Chains A and B, each alone.
Chain A
């Protein structure tokens, strides 16, 4: 399984010299194995992914895309109008969420004439299909995927923020961005169960433990909580994700060093960086 981190920053894009190493683009993660290709979230990181797709000769270009949304806060969707394949006839985009109607509503908002020169999602040349991913695994090409509700402020129980458990080839990945661990025991227990035995857990690590107490209820974890969830689930690799926009590269190095010290034996900890690739 190959995991490419195209965007790793939480909340908003933070360009500049302070974030060159870890990157400043908002979330987008690509997971590939055995010819299956999944995209998780459509923050600004999806734009360079689209550029990579377009760099292939037209006849060899990828035509079918599977894009799964954790939720619809801007940092997870605002790259979508700038993902070049949506403008090309012959492209087929399958969009997935816990509640596909809400995925569609946000897509329509993204292209609405108030905000976009496209003046409506109906003007997109690509074919767009909406699908539900609930508690029961669905098959997406060679992958088995299901969703797990997370603790993150979002309107209504019919459309919670979700993580995804992805079984693909011989590997299992759990993607749990935008989750506040350590306050809702039942939610934590469920995520730990879902992540049990996974090869890799990508988890929200927005805050330091010092920053967190003033931000309770914002829907994000400290790296300390991310390490706790990973160790309780017995995963072998934890990837810290959704970095706080104020954390510059220097702070990120310190955060990673501190998180590694907290990790029990058998748990490797790393921090996602834009354009970083993991082979597991």
Chain B
């Protein structure tokens, strides 16, 4: 699979002269699977430049097809959808997968985002064919030769982490945890407080979900100093991500969801700290807009 970062920033997109290397767009990642399919994770502001790029190809001619997986529906993960140009082109086809939020399904949430007061074009006016699918935690499904497994993350509301791999191809697994907090400090997700067994098993289930992945894209929002007193905000530090990777035998970690107030230099400092934990075992880097990676070979 080929994986390209289009938005790596958490909370909100921001333009700053000192964040241009890692980038200031909010979350969006593009996958080209080994079967040659297009997958998109999240629709933060990074989906606008991604859309521009797709318009140069079959999506500009109304012949595109992509699956869109949404981790959760907080603003930074969906605010780019109204500006995604391939949605305006008849003939394009999209499948959107999400767990929804707070009892609302994903269609309702995206239609609500384009309320008359807040955007001049309603969601229903998009010309592309868009179908919605509801996912649950611990779902396991196969879509076009690609295996998907979901896990609920420790973040307010309902947030899914995704493990995706090409069926039968070793070393192709990528795991995406955009927003998650330390389970030993807080329990934030819907339902997580209902059962002690849930919290006890959470770590084990996460380790199993991540186990042996070639690439882990992980929340690295806070520094160790910043997270003190903000454990309940639903985010991790790069050191947390590095420890998980070491324990689960992950080969590479892309630190993701950079805090909007972090300059490129601050991100570099946090990476240097996390690399001490990763040692020789885990390759650690910062997700950077425009950067592409490959797991398990190149597709399509």
Instruction: Write the residues of chain A forming the contact surface with B, with a CB cutoff of 8 angstroms.
Output: 9, 11-17, 19-20, 23-25, 44, 47, 51, 72-74, 77-79, 81-82, 102, 105-106, 109-110, 112-117, 119, 153-155, 159, 218-219, 245, 274
Contact = CB atoms under 8 A, between A and B. Distances in A.
Nearest to A155: B116
Contacts of B116: 155
B71 interface: no
A119 B102 contact: yes
Interface size class of B (residues with CB under 8 A): 35 or more
Given A44-B14, A47-B12, A12 B48 contact: yes
B84 to A, nearest CB: 11
A218 B108 CA distance: 26
B23 A77 contact: no
Given A12-B45, A115-B109, A117-B155, 8 more contacts: A11-B83, A12-B80, A24-B15, A44-B14, A106-B117, A112-B112, A113-B157, A245-B48
Given A117-B156, A119-B156, A15 B11 contact: no
A113 B102 contact: yes
B73 A16 contact: no
B23 A16 contact: yes
Contacts of A114: 73, 101-102, 104, 108-109, 112
Nearest to A19: B15
B74 interface: yes
Given A113-B102, A114-B109, A16 B117 contact: no
Contact of A15 (B24, B79, B102, B157): B24
Contacts of B74: 115-117
7 contacts: A12-B13, A12-B45, A12-B48, A15-B14, A24-B24, A81-B75, A106-B117
B117 A117 contact: no
Given A47-B260, A115-B109, A15 B15 contact: yes
Contacts of B57: none
A95 to B, nearest CB: 14
B79 A74 contact: yes
Interface of B: 9, 11-17, 19-20, 23-25, 45, 48, 73-75, 78-80, 82-83, 101-102, 104, 108-109, 112-113, 115-120, 155-157, 233-234, 260-261, 289
Contacts of A74: 79, 82, 118-119
A17 B13 CA distance: 15
Nearest to A245: B48
Nearest to A106: B117
A180 to B, nearest CB: 12
A115 B24 contact: no
A6 B108 CA distance: 33
A139 B108 CA distance: 41
B112 A9 contact: no
B15 A23 contact: yes
A107 B155 CA distance: 23
A13 B17 contact: no
Contacts of A117: 74, 155-157, 233-234
